Amino acid sequence: MVRKRIQLAQNFFRDRRLVASVVAASTITKEDLVYEVGPGEGIITGELVERAGKVVAVEKDAALAAHLRSKFHDKGNVKIHDGDFLRYKIKEKKYKIFSNIPFNITAEVVKQILFGENPPSEAYLVLQKEAAGKFSGTPTETEVSVLAKPWFEFRVLREFRRTDFEPVPNVDVVLFHIARREQPLVSPVNAQSYRKFVQFGFEAWKKDLKTAYKRVFTYEQWKRLSKNLSFPLKATPAELKFEQWLGLFNYFLTGVVDSKKVVILSR
């Protein structure tokens, strides 16, 4: 089974005591429904079963799913679903996720959590440190971090040693926390406009944002925004912090920008 998980780029925890301490540091209680992606042989599942009200473990490998059903047959609060999490439809509106994600599907899983129709209230993910930086916009913002931050907060809760896993990964690994904001920073009515605004800035393939948005903001408007929001006049997308992106968008919404120019973002 371990050979199979190597093919899926999944690295298991060696020490059950470490897993217990990591799960115990979460906000998961008996009131929670928790989904686990790629449970493997169930080292995390076993701790979640003791702490959560109900656990749904989604395992793509049929043999491992059968193994897990046998292992937890006497636990009434766990359900093993054999299938692909990326195709799994979560019906519950309130749930959390705790998972050691196979590295080869990290981006797909995190994007589904952030941009799916029914996101969790919290997610605790064991993943590559580099991926955590990309999604949290650390040290520089990325398109995906700017798109997600109006609705989510991100934090690295713990850094692991590579030797905490078997097989030993060739990358640094962290526990990454995603928390859905109780009050979004962009209203639902403006959500689509925000996404188009940000995507246009990142994907315009211009040398800087001033050039990318030259048909949206006048030079005087951009110069004033640069000063008020404290970013370089010729800033590139990654040079702006999320708060500066939000400031740009809020100005965009004030109506000062000619409404006819909004059409440009849809092209």
DSSP per-residue letters across 250-265: HHHHTT-S-GGGGGGG
Pairing of strands 54-59, 78-82: parallel
Q: What is the enclosing helix (H) or strand (E) of 163?
A: none
DSSP per-residue letters across 39-65: -TTSHHHHHHHHHSSEEEEEES-HHHH
- Cα–Cα–Cα angle for 44, 56, 116, rounded to 5 degrees: 105
Q: Which two tokens stand for residue 173?
A: 């690994």
Which residue, among 140, 134, 133, 130, has the nearest Cα to 239 in the 3D structure?
Answer: 140
What angle in degrees, to the nearest 10, is found between the helix axes of 43-51 and 16-24?
A: 40
Residue 6: the pLDDT is 46
Alpha carbons 234 and 226: distance in angstroms, whole number: 9
Alpha carbons 61 and 84: distance in angstroms, whole number: 9
Fold annotation for 2-180: Rossmann fold (3.40.50)
Query: In the chain, what are the domain boundaries?
Result: 2-180, 188-266
Residue 10: the pLDDT is 81
In angstroms, how far is the first alpha carbon of the chain from the final one?
Answer: 49
CATH 1.10.8 fits 188-266, yes or no: yes
Alpha carbons 23 and 254: distance in angstroms, whole number: 45
- Does a cis peptide bond (omega within 30 degrees of 0) precede residue 139? yes
Residue 207: the pLDDT is 84
pLDDT digits (tens), the chain, 267 positions: 444 444 456 899 999 999 999 999 999 999 999 999 999 999 999 999 999 999 999 999 999 999 999 999 999 999 999 999 999 999 999 999 999 998 999 999 999 999 998 999 999 999 999 999 999 999 999 999 999 999 999 999 999 999 999 999 999 999 999 999 999 999 999 999 999 999 999 998 778 999 999 999 999 999 999 999 999 999 999 999 999 999 999 999 986 555 555 545 655
